[in-house]
Structure 1
Amino acid sequence: MMKLHQLDRSSINNSSFTTKIDDFPYFLRIWHYHTELELVVILASEGTCFIGDSIDKFGVGDVVLIGKNMPHMWLNDNEYFQVDSKRNAKAIAIHFKEDSFGKGFFEIPEMIHLLELFSRAKFGLKFLDLNKIIIKKIENLHELEGFEKTISFLQILDKLAKHKNTKSLSSLGFLNLFETSRSINQDKVQSYIFRNFNKSICLEDVAKIANMNPSAFSRFFKKVNRKTFSRYVTEIRIGFACKLLLEKKLNIAGVCYESGFNNISNFNRQFKIIMHCTPSEYLKRHNIES
């Protein structure tokens, strides 16, 4: 991972929110955050989505709402970075703030369900089985202007707020840790963890980055994450392993070592603890659902 960057997503066209189409050979590999909420629809390409401490596979048709100041990055698969690649990565991104339509706008009774949606989006919110009509409405938003565009956007938010099948991405622990004082160099800590989770990684090295002694860092980490550092790293590794399993490019042994585990038995044991099934059972269930 690169250093965490704060990006400016504010409107330069005297508009209360912005819509833009990203169409590149691959998405920018920047681990970043911004003060605006971000609604993303993936129109082309696939890869791995990093939101907070979550690692999830993304593909065409995915719709995700990311809360303000939540670090994230869309990383395309390796094929997209080949010199002779003919692939392209395309998405529509909408950036807005909770006060985009005026202070207190979303606090009136008719809009309170949208405020609740924004609260859920603090962790990153993925919408599953979303009606294609809503997705198309989001795509068309870029072609609208003025009052018509604003009304259409509010209708989209209304539909998303009422959609029941969603998946919360990042953990409460990450949110608490990230919002805590930067005196522990949280951006450097997270960058180091994401860059090294599939290698040998120890608490002492991370504590050194945070400028804390290991025991103090361990206590602090467990307090804000409600889990130990080793458990945190294991969950990230298992999340990455799930992504690799679904891609079906490696066998289970290959996934084990690629995810940072040293032996199959420990990988199977940790996978079952976190996913409540073995890797082979996970694959079997996914095949049935597909």
Structure 2
Amino acid sequence: MKLHLIDRSTPSDTSFTAKVHEGSNFLKLWHYHPELELVVILKSDGNCFVGDGIEKFEVGDVFLIGKNTPHMWLNHEAYFDEASELIAKSVAIHFKKEFLGDKFFETPEMQHVSELFDRARFGIKFLNLKEELLITVQNMLSLDGFHKTITFLNILNTLSAHKDFKLLASSGYMKSFKVKTNKTLDKVYAYIFKNFNKNLSLEEVAKIANMNATAFSRLFKRVNGKPFSRYVAEIRIGYACKLLLEQKVNISQVCYEVGFNNISNFNRQFKMIMGCNPSEYIKQHVNSYQGR
């Protein structure tokens, strides 16, 4: 799966684009673009891949993806069934940081919004937003240019002040990611994200990079600051944490769903990465999670 540069440039008569995207599923493409992307999910669910992070999305979720941050919106398999009547729908706003001029967001009054843009390079999922903001985003689509711009600034102002959010990509990944110079690892990351819950071997992934296993292992550890096996384990355990908090499946089912072959190895890796076993993790976090 190749990383694609997508053209999200705006027409000459507007400084940013705000559109509804609707179809049987979202674009299944690992991609990036120089525009930031604000997305509100109106229909459908699935997984959002941002950098090396994986996050579930569902109706009402709001994400902000930064400039040139690799990402992909992947609906669940049911949305790709030819007989399916399911619909995927979202509002997507694409804009450059300089959409109101090179210095506009460098003014003291706009510093908080500029900081929001900086955080967005990791990908942001906003939690517990008021429904009014979701309605405002949808209503903005029918406004004229001036009022649409003012409304969008108000939306950015609200999001910059919102303290309940999570960052999706790791700092290690974003430090290593270079649009022009990291094409080899782009293919590797994309392959890992697509197959993280399968039996991935170092030799198999090294072939994706057209390298022998030893050379690839050295390169991967140098760029990411951790061995390949640890990197994959962290992705699996991160996704396992989301499944555990949802409490839709038991610990054994989570173990196999995220790619581990046996429960003892899953428990060992989970404790190594999270500092506790899966049962303890649920007890520590489920009350606060359900309260959201």
TM-score > 0.5 by shorter chain: yes
Shift of 1:248: 5.2
The equivalent of 1:143 in structure 2 is 142
Deviates more, 1:192-201 or 1:68-77: 192-201
Shift of 1:27: 1.2
The equivalent of 2:286 in structure 1 is 286
Alignment RMSD: 2.2
Shift of 1:279: 2.7
Distance 1:180 1:30 in 2: 16
Give the letter aligned to residue 160 of structure 2: A
TM-score by length of 1: 0.90
Is the CA contact 1:126–1:169 (under 8 Å) kept in the aligned structure 2? yes
Distance 1:212 1:265 in 2: 32
Mapping for residues 14-93 of structure 1, pairs under 5 Å? 14-93=13-92
Shift of 1:212: 4.5
Deviates more, 1:256-265 or 1:237-246: 237-246
Give the letter aligned to residue 252 of structure 2: A
Q: How many residues align?
A: 289
Shift of 1:283: 4.4
Aligned residues: percent identity? Answer: 60
Deviation readout 1:25-44 (Å, 9 max, x if unpaired): 22121111111000011111
Shift of 1:235: 1.0
TM-score by length of 2: 0.90
Give the letter aligned to residue 239 of structure 2: F
Is the CA contact 2:46–2:57 (under 8 Å) kept in the aligned structure 1? yes
Distance 1:83 1:286 in 2: 37
What SS class does the counterpart of residue 182 from structure 1 fall into? coil
The equivalent of 2:94 in structure 1 is 95
Shift of 1:115: 1.1
- Tell me: CA distance 1:150–1:243, structure 2 relative to 1, closer, same or farther (3 Å): same
The equivalent of 2:174 in structure 1 is 175
Deviation readout 1:48-84 (Å, 9 max, x if unpaired): 1111111111111111100011111111122222333
The equivalent of 2:190 in structure 1 is 191
Deviation readout 1:84-133 (Å, 9 max, x if unpaired): 32321111000000111111211111112111111100000111111222
Shift of 1:267: 0.3
Structure 1 runs, 4 residues or longer, greater than 6 Å off? none
Distance 2:4 2:249 in 1: 33
The equivalent of 1:132 in structure 2 is 131
What SS class does the counterpart of residue 9 from structure 2 fall into? coil
Give the letter aligned to residue 24 of structure 1: G
- Tell me: CA distance 1:274–1:172, structure 2 relative to 1, closer, same or farther (3 Å): same
Give the letter aligned to residue 230 of structure 1: S
Distance 1:67 1:289 in 2: 26
Distance 1:20 1:89 in 2: 14
Give the letter aligned to residue 22 of structure 1: H
Shift of 1:231: 1.3
Shift of 1:265: 0.6
Distance 1:182 1:205 in 2: 22
Q: Does 2:234 match 1:235?
A: yes
- Tell me: CA distance 1:203–1:97, structure 2 relative to 1, closer, same or farther (3 Å): same
Is the CA contact 1:184–1:210 (under 8 Å) kept in the aligned structure 2? no
